[in-house]
Chains A and B, each alone.
Chain A
C-alpha cells in the first residue's frame, strides 16, 4: 500500500473514516478551522451544523443511543468546548459512547490565557471516561483508535480528544497509517462472568418463590434484550425496567410489571419490596430506584450482573456479584439453568403472580384514559401519551426532556423494543429531547421520531429547530404545555405548602405555533380533548415536515405513584391525598 502523507487534520478525518464514522455533529471556530477544512475536502463523512454545541453533543448522544454506534462531535476551543460540557455530563451519567473532538489553542499558547483558551481536559475530567491531548500530528491515528475503543467497550462513555491548532496544521504532513489493533495494558474489560458465581446465581434463582428481574440501561447498551427475554420466559419471572432500561423487555408483555423507582408502578415497587430474590442486570441501584437504601428490599437475596465492578455493592450489598457484560453473563446463566432446570416447575410462582396481579389491578396505571373525556374539559398529559402511542402504533422512537412529561411518557408509552425510548435518566438534562431526536432521526431517516417535551425544557435547546429545517428532519414535537416547570411545581405543592417559587412564567410563554412557523415548520395547538385525536393523527401524517404539537394540558396534574423520601419502596403517594403508608 502506498504511504500517504497527511496533515494532522486530514489524518483525523481519515481515522474517523477508518472507524466507520458517517456523521459528525458540530460547530466550527478558530481553533478548529484546519479540521473543518479537512472535513470540506472529503466526501465520506457528513457533518450536521447545529446551532449550539450542547445540541451537537446531545444529538450525537441520541444517535448513539438509537443505533448503537458512537456519536462524534466537533467543537472549537474555549466557549465551544465549554458549551459541550452539559452534553458530556449527560452522556457520562448514562454511559453513552460519544467522542468529542475539541480544537485547542496552539501548543505554545497553552497556559498563557490566550484567546478562547479553556483547559478542556481539566474541565471535562470528572465527566468523561477518558481524554487525550494530541501533542503531535503523528499521534492522531492512535489516539482516535484508542478513543473509539475506550468509548465503546466495557462500560461505555464519552471520550474527549483535544487538538491544539498547530497539531492540525495543513503544512506539516506525516506518513499516515491506521493501527489495526489497540492494546491498552491498563484497560481490559471483563466480558465473561465468573463460572462459580454463575452457578451460585442459578441455585438462588431456582430456589426462589418470589423473584423479580430488575434491569437497566446496561441491557440495552449491551444488546442483551433477547437473552433477557429468553431468561424471563424460561423462568416465568416478572420483569421491571428502570427509566434507562425501558424497552429492554417488551412493555406489552404480560410478565412486564412496569418501570420501578421514584415514579415506578405500584406493582413494580411492591414487588421489589416484598420479593425474595432480585436479579439485577445492567442497573446500578441508584437513589431514584432504592429510595432509602437501609430499608431497601430487606428480605431478598440479590444477584447483580454488571460490567463495571465499581457498581457492585456500591450502594446495596449483594449476595452474588458478577462482573461481566450483560449479554455474555445472561447467556451463561441461561446455559447453566438449562443444565439444571429439568425439574423446574414455574407453577410454584403462581401465588406470587396472583399477588402481583392483585397489586396491578388495585393500583396499576390506567392505560385507557382516552376512553374517558376529562370532566373539566382539560386534556390530561397521560391522554396525550396514550394518543401518541395509539396513533404511532407503538412504533415511534420517543425522546424526552426532563420533568413530568418525561415520567408520563415513560409510564404510558409501552416500549416494546430496546433503543426506542431515549432520555436523560442519569443527569436529567432539560434540553436533551430535541437535539437527541435529531440524532435519532438521522440514524433512522424513515422512522417516526417523537420528542415528548414540556414548554420549559423545549426552550432550552429551541434553536435546534433551525438545524431541523436545514437537514429536513421531520421530528414530531409533542409539547405537554402546563405553563409551568411542572415537576418543580409538583414538589412545591407536596413539600412546600404550594409556594410556587419561580416555577411559572407569568404571561411570557411564546406562541409555539408562530414560533415553529417562523423556523419554517408546522405548528398545531390543541386545547380541547375532542381535538386531540385528530391533531395527533394530522401531526403524525406529515411524514416530511417537522410538526410542533402544542397541547395545553391540565396544569394541576401530578405524576404518581411517587416514592416517599426516606422510606422503603412500598411507601408511595398514589394521588394527591392517597398514600400507601400510615
Chain B
C-alpha cells in the first residue's frame, strides 16, 4: 500500500542525506520525495511516498524520528489528507491541443509555434489521468514534482 510520510527536519547540511540514507540502509523504497525550507528558515519540510504495510511504515517513522536532525514525523496517509503534485509538461504544438489542455484544467505557461509548456496541479491520480489524455506523439518531456501533502484535519505538522 502507498503511504505518505511528511516530516520537519533541521535545514542543515547533511540532514537530507541522513534521511535518504536511512531508506537505502534499512531497505525501504522511496517512490517520490520532495523537500524545501519552510516559513521558519531553520526547518525544511519533506514529503515522501513509500510502499509498505502499516507495520513497515511504523518502523520507518520510528527510525526517521530517531535521526537527530528530524524534528517531527507524521504518516499523513493514516487519515484523510490533501496530496498534490505539480506536473510540468512540454508538448509538441498541434492544432486542437490548446482546447484539449484547457478542458482538462491544464494551464499553458509558455507557447511558441513549435511547443507548448503546460502546468497541471492535482492529486497523483489526476496527474495520471491528465497525462493519459495526451498522446505519446504530443509529449516531449515530463517533469513531475512528486507528492506534497497536508492533513485534511486540524492537525498541524509544525513545531
Q: Which residues of B contact A445 (CB under 8 A)?
A: none
Q: Which of A126, A185, A310, A313 is B21 in contact with, Cβ under 8 Å?
A: A126
Q: Give Cα A184 to B58, complex, Å.
A: 24
Q: Is B1 an interface residue (CB 8 A)?
A: no
Q: Which of A122, A186, A308 is B68 in contact with, Cβ under 8 Å?
A: A186
Q: How far is the CB of A331 from chain B (nearest CB, A)?
A: 25
* Contact assessment for B70 and A186 in the assembled complex, using a CB-CB cutoff below 8 Å: yes
* Contact assessment for A185 and B159 in the assembled complex, using a CB-CB cutoff below 8 Å: yes
Residue-by-residue, is B140-159 near A (CB-CB < 8 Å gives 1, otherwise 0)?
00000000000000000001
Closest residue to B8 on the A side, CB-wise?
A186
Q: How far is the CB of B73 from chain A (nearest CB, A)?
A: 10
Ranked nearest first, the 7 interchain pairs of A and B with the lowest CB-CB distance are: A310-B62, A186-B71, A130-B68, A126-B25, A309-B62, A187-B68, A310-B63
Residue-by-residue, is B63-98 near A (CB-CB < 8 Å gives 1, otherwise 0)?
101101111100000000000000000000000000
Q: Is A150 an interface residue (CB 8 A)?
A: yes
Q: Is A514 an interface residue (CB 8 A)?
A: no
Q: Which residues of B contact A125 (CB under 8 A)?
A: 17-18, 21
Q: Which residues of B contact A126 (CB under 8 A)?
A: 21, 25
Q: Which of A133, A309, A314 is B13 in contact with, Cβ under 8 Å?
A: A133
Q: Which residues of A contact B55 (CB under 8 A)?
A: 313
Q: Give Cα A121 to B62, complex, Å.
A: 23
Q: Give Cα A242 to B29, complex, Å.
A: 32
Q: Give Cα A310 to B57, complex, Å.
A: 11
* Contact assessment for A184 and B68 in the assembled complex, using a CB-CB cutoff below 8 Å: yes
Q: Which residues of A contact B14 (CB under 8 A)?
A: 121, 131, 133
Q: Which of A122, A186, A309, A314 is B10 in contact with, Cβ under 8 Å?
A: A186
Q: Give Cα A150 to B13, complex, Å.
A: 18
Binding site for B on A (CB under 8 A): 121-122, 125-126, 129-131, 133, 150, 184-187, 308-310, 313-314
Which B residues from 20 to 66 make CB contacts under 8 A with A?
A: 21, 25, 55, 58-59, 62-63, 65-66
Q: Give Cα A122 to B18, complex, Å.
A: 9
Q: Give Cα A356 to B151, complex, Å.
A: 53
Q: Which residues of B contact A122 (CB under 8 A)?
A: 17
Binding site for A on B (CB under 8 A): 9-10, 13-14, 17-18, 21, 25, 55, 58-59, 62-63, 65-66, 68-72, 159
* Contact assessment for A129 and B68 in the assembled complex, using a CB-CB cutoff below 8 Å: yes
**Can you sample 29 A-B contacts with CB below 8 Å?**
A122-B17, A125-B17, A125-B18, A125-B21, A126-B21, A126-B25, A129-B68, A130-B68, A131-B14, A133-B13, A133-B14, A185-B71, A185-B159, A186-B9, A186-B10, A186-B68, A186-B69, A186-B71, A187-B68, A308-B66, A309-B65, A309-B66, A310-B59, A310-B62, A310-B63, A310-B65, A313-B55, A313-B58, A314-B59
Q: How far is the CB of B66 from chain A (nearest CB, A)?
A: 6
Q: How far is the CB of A449 from chain B (nearest CB, A)?
A: 34
Closest residue to B64 on the A side, CB-wise?
A310
Q: Give Cα A122 to B13, complex, Å.
A: 11
Q: How far is the CB of A571 from chain B (nearest CB, A)?
A: 26
Q: Give Cα A125 to B21, complex, Å.
A: 8
* Contact assessment for B59 and A150 in the assembled complex, using a CB-CB cutoff below 8 Å: no
Q: How far is the CB of A573 from chain B (nearest CB, A)?
A: 31
Closest residue to A312 on the B side, CB-wise?
B62
Q: How far is the CB of B124 from chain A (nearest CB, A)?
A: 29
Q: Which residues of A contact B68 (CB under 8 A)?
A: 129-130, 150, 184, 186-187
Q: Which residues of B contact A121 (CB under 8 A)?
A: 14
Q: Give Cα A206 to B93, complex, Å.
A: 77
Q: Which residues of B contact A309 (CB under 8 A)?
A: 62, 65-66
Q: Give Cα A309 to B14, complex, Å.
A: 24
Closest residue to A315 on the B side, CB-wise?
B59
Q: Which residues of B contact A130 (CB under 8 A)?
A: 68
Q: Taking each of B17, B58, B68, which has the highest tally of chain A beta carbons within 10 Å of its own beta carbon?
A: B68
Closest residue to B10 on the A side, CB-wise?
A186
Q: How far is the CB of B54 from chain A (nearest CB, A)?
A: 11
Q: Taking each of B13, B14, B70, B72, which has the highest tally of chain A beta carbons within 10 Å of its own beta carbon?
A: B14
Q: Which residues of A contact B66 (CB under 8 A)?
A: 308-310
Q: Which residues of B contact A184 (CB under 8 A)?
A: 68
Q: How far is the CB of A133 from chain B (nearest CB, A)?
A: 7
Closest residue to A187 on the B side, CB-wise?
B68
Q: Which residues of A contact B17 (CB under 8 A)?
A: 122, 125
Q: How far is the CB of A309 from chain B (nearest CB, A)?
A: 5
Q: How far is the CB of A206 from chain B (nearest CB, A)?
A: 30
Q: Which residues of A contact B13 (CB under 8 A)?
A: 133
Q: Give Cα A131 to B91, complex, Å.
A: 46
Q: Which residues of A contact B59 (CB under 8 A)?
A: 310, 314
Closest residue to A314 on the B side, CB-wise?
B59
4 A-B pairs besides A125-B18, A131-B14, A310-B65 with CB distance below 8 A are: A184-B68, A185-B159, A309-B66, A310-B62
Q: How far is the CB of A137 from chain B (nearest CB, A)?
A: 18
Q: How far is the CB of A315 from chain B (nearest CB, A)?
A: 10
Q: Give Cα A108 to B18, complex, Å.
A: 23
Q: Give Cα A133 to B69, complex, Å.
A: 14
Q: How far is the CB of B65 from chain A (nearest CB, A)?
A: 7
